[in-house]
Amino acid sequence: MISQLIFGILLLGAVTLAAYNARRIIRNIRMGHPERRTDQPARRFRIMLQVAFGQRKMFKRPFAALLHGFVYLGFFIINIELLEITIDGLFGTHRAFGGLGRTYNVLIAILEWMAFAVLIGCVIFLARRNIAHLRRFSGREMTAWPKTDANLILIAEILLMVAFLTLNAADHQLQLLGVAPYSMAGSFPVSVWLQPMLPESIPALIFLERFAWWFHIAGVLAFMNYLPYSKHLHIVLAFPNTYFSNLDNPGRFANMPQVTREVKAMLDPAAVSESSDETLRFGAKDVTDLTWKNLLDAYTCTECGRCTAVCPANLTGKRLSPRKIMMNTRDRMVEAGNRGKPVEADDGKSLLDDYITREELWACTTCNACVEACPVLINPLEIIMALRQYTVMEESQAPATLNTMFSNIENNGAPWKYARADRANWRQK
């Protein structure tokens, strides 16, 4: 009963903390402006199944996609056993679903092979990060914490899978020895490899089985509450992020509601109601000026670097890194969320200048390569353009070349310096 009580307290504490973290994340995302992303639900659901669950965009790099599929699907499938572990922990039973007989044996066998796949995948990923030193895992935004975070998760998953297989190996050995309450249940095609390394005495076996059981469940509960502070939150948020993704053509820019309202007011002041006469920024200076979907994107970023790896500005040595845009937006959002709204008056900082420089903004070519490369449909370009709009429309600040273009459009009706009457002169040469 003491063991069951301890487990119940541990489970209740972990679930309560997880609920608190979930509310904090939702609160931070809601700092963004409203945006309608609920149209065409059938199409959105199909995209979510293809991209988030089916990992469709990962397969541009087949080897990485295969390993990621092992880890992603394997980790989810293995945690199906958490239901049984939870029942055993609360009620003191042993393999509560063992009565399913042959079906249970097949299920445990599948779980073991998936655990082995997760283990192999994590070991290879760990080697790629720390031995192969792939270029896209580096960059000035990849400071000590992002690298440590990635390694911590991989090491944690390796330890959890080792604990799972050790638990099964010791349990199976105790079943074979006829020790109560370890009744015969399950098939163990992978953990049987560990049995020659197990201790021979029954007390030592029971201790090992209990230690692995507690380590595994405590590790999973700790992992659940570590996710909100890690880039691996995409394990959960990839699904809503792909569901609420932009269904328009990638190169299409929507009209700004603020501009539309101003134009309507100029054409017919009576058409704009007094209730809409609120102060709205053109573009974005801080995270509270972005949309909730932009903030969801920032939380979902996996820091995989695929966007930066294909960014032409980054490849030519410019400071822009789409991954850094998302990481900085997330950092500012968390900081702002801890202070509450409004944030500017609280700390005198903003996303623009304090987190993202103007040099980064104007290095972007708006080619959409980063948007196309992202495996979970994150859109760094929307944030870049919102910050650009603020600098131009609110501060009247833009690079000299753009100011020249703006002047030409205003005076000549085209980006070039030639007068309208001279545009066709090239045909005479």
User: 119-159, pLDDT tens digit by residue?
Assistant: 999 999 999 989 988 888 888 898 889 989 999 999 999 99
- Residue 394: partners with Cβ closer than 8 Å, 6 or more residues away: 281, 282, 283, 285
Let me know whether 73 and 220 are in one domain. yes
Q: What is the pLDDT of residues 202-230, one digit of tens each?
A: 999 999 999 999 999 999 999 989 999 99
Number of domains in the chain: 2
Per-residue confidence band for 366, with pLDDT thresholds at 50, 70 and 90:
very high
Does the pLDDT of residue 305 top 70, yes or no?
A: yes
DSSP assignment letter at 132: I
Bridge partners (DSSP) of residue 291 are 33
User: Where is 209: in which H helix or E strand?
Assistant: helix 202-226
Let me know whether 280 and 405 are in one domain. yes
Let me know whether 173 and 137 are in one domain. yes
Whether residue 220 contacts residue 214, with contact meaning beta carbons closer than 8 Å, is answered with no
For residue 319, tell me if it sits in a domain.
yes
Nearest Cα neighbor of 303 from 146, 425, 91, 427 is 146
**Residue 394's domain spans which residues?**
257-412
For residue 399, tell me if it sits in a domain.
yes
Let me know whether 204 and 290 are in one domain. no
How far out from the chain centre does Cα 258 lie?
31
For residue 424, tell me if it sits in a domain.
no
Let me know whether 352 and 274 are in one domain. yes
Does the pLDDT of residue 343 top 80, yes or no?
A: no
Q: What is the pLDDT of residues 379-397, one digit of tens each?
A: 999 999 999 999 998 888 8
In one letter, which amino acid is 303? E
Does the pLDDT of residue 339 top 50, yes or no?
A: yes
Let me know whether 76 and 133 are in one domain. yes
Does the pLDDT of residue 3 top 90, yes or no?
A: no
Does the pLDDT of residue 344 top 70, yes or no?
A: no
Per-residue confidence band for 346, with pLDDT thresholds at 50, 70 and 90:
low
If DSSP codes are grouped into helix, strand and coil, which group holds residue 291? strand
- Residue 39: partners with Cβ closer than 8 Å, 6 or more residues away: 247
Distance CA 83, CA 69 (A): 23
Distance CA 308, CA 295 (A): 19
In 363-402, which positions are buried (b, 16+ CB within 10 angstroms) versus exposed (e)?
bbeeeebbbebbbbbbbbbbbbbbbbbbbbeeeeebeeee
Let me know whether 263 and 383 are in one domain. yes
Let me know whether 222 and 265 are in one domain. no
- Say what the pTM is: 0.88
Structure-model confidence comparison of residues 175 and 80, the more confident one: 175
Tell me what the mean pLDDT of segment 272-300 comes to.
Answer: 81
For residue 305, tell me if it sits in a domain.
yes
Angle at 64 between CA 59 and CA 69, to 5 degrees: 75
Distance CA 208, CA 199 (A): 9
For residue 41, tell me if it sits in a domain.
no
